Structure 1
Amino acid sequence: MTNSKIKHWLQAFRLRTLPLALSSIFMGNFLAKWQGEFDWGILGLAVSTTIFLQILSNLANDYGDSIHGADSAEREGPSRAVQTGAISKGQMKTAIIVFAGLSLISGISLLALAFADQWMLITVFLVLGLLAIYAAITYTAGSNPYGYRGLGDISVLIFFGFVGVFGSYFLQAKTLDWNVLLPALSCGLLATGVLNVNNIRDIESDEKAGKISIPVRIGRDKAVVYHFVLLGLAMLSGVAFIMLNASGWTSYLFVLAFPLIIKNGVAVKTKTSAAALDPYLKQLALSTLLYVLLFGVGLVL
Structure 2
Amino acid sequence: MNESNVTTNSFKAWFLAARPKTLTGAAVPVMIGIAAAIAQYGDTVRVGAAVLCMLFALVMQIDANFINDYFDFMKGTDDEKRLGPKRACAQGWITAAAMRLGLLYTTLLACAIGLPLIYYGGWEMILIGVACVVFCFLYTISFSYIGLGDVLVLVFFGLLPVCMTYWLVSPPTPLMSIPWQVITLSAACGLVIDTLLVVNNYRDIDNDRRAGKRTLIVRIGEHGGLTLYAILGFISTILALIGMTFLNWQDEQYAKLIILLYLPFHIVTFTEMRRIRKGAELNKVLGMTARNMLIYGILVTIGLLV
TM over 0.5: yes
1:229-257 CA deviation, whole Å, 9 max, x = no partner? 21121111112224434443222222222
Paired residue for 1:252, among 257, 275, 293? 257
Deviation at 1:3, TM superposition (A): 6.9
Spell out the pairing of 1:230-269 with structure 2 (5 A cutoff).
Answer: 230-245=232-247, 246=249, 247-269=252-274
Q: Deviations over 1:57-108 (max 9, x none)?
A: 0000011111112101111112211112221111111001000000000001
Does residue 8 (structure 1) correspond to residue 5 (structure 2)? The answer is no
Identity %: 28
- The aligned residue for residue 183 of structure 2 is 181
**CA distance in structure 1 between the aligned counterparts of 2:150 and 2:280, rounded to whole angstroms:** 23
Q: Distance in 2 between matches of 1:282 and 1:134?
A: 28
Q: What is residue 161 of structure 1 aligned with on the other side?
A: 158
Q: Alpha-carbon deviation of 1:202?
A: 0.9
**Which residue is equivalent to 2:218?**
216
Higher mean C-alpha displacement, 70-79 vs 53-62: 70-79
Q: Secondary structure at the match of 2:214?
A: coil
The equivalent of 1:139 in structure 2 is 139
Contact 1:231–1:265, Cα closer than 8 Å, also in 2: no
Aligned-pair CA distance for 1:10 = 1.1
Whether the 8 Å CA contact 1:242–1:252 is kept in 2: the answer is: no
Paired residue for 1:193? Answer: 195
* TM superposition score normalised by structure 1: 0.91
Runs of 4+ deviating beyond 6 Å? none
Deviates more, 1:246-255 or 1:229-238: 246-255
Cα displacement string for residues 199-238 of structure 1 (whole angstroms, at most 9, x for unaligned residues): 0111111111111111111211111111112112111111
Q: Output the CA distance in 1 between the equivalents of 2:301 and 2:140.
A: 33
* CA distance in structure 2 between the partners assigned to 1:38 and 1:31 by the alignment: 10
Unmatched segments (≥5 aa) in structure 2 = none
Per mean C-alpha deviation after superposition, the further-off stretch among 157-166 and 75-84 is 75-84
1:287 to 292, 295, 304: 292
Q: Is the 8 A contact 2:66 2:103 kept in 1?
A: yes
Cα deviation 1:12-34 (Å, max 9, x = unaligned): 10110101111100101100000
CA RMSD of aligned residues (A): 1.7
Amino acid in the other structure paired with 2:302:
V
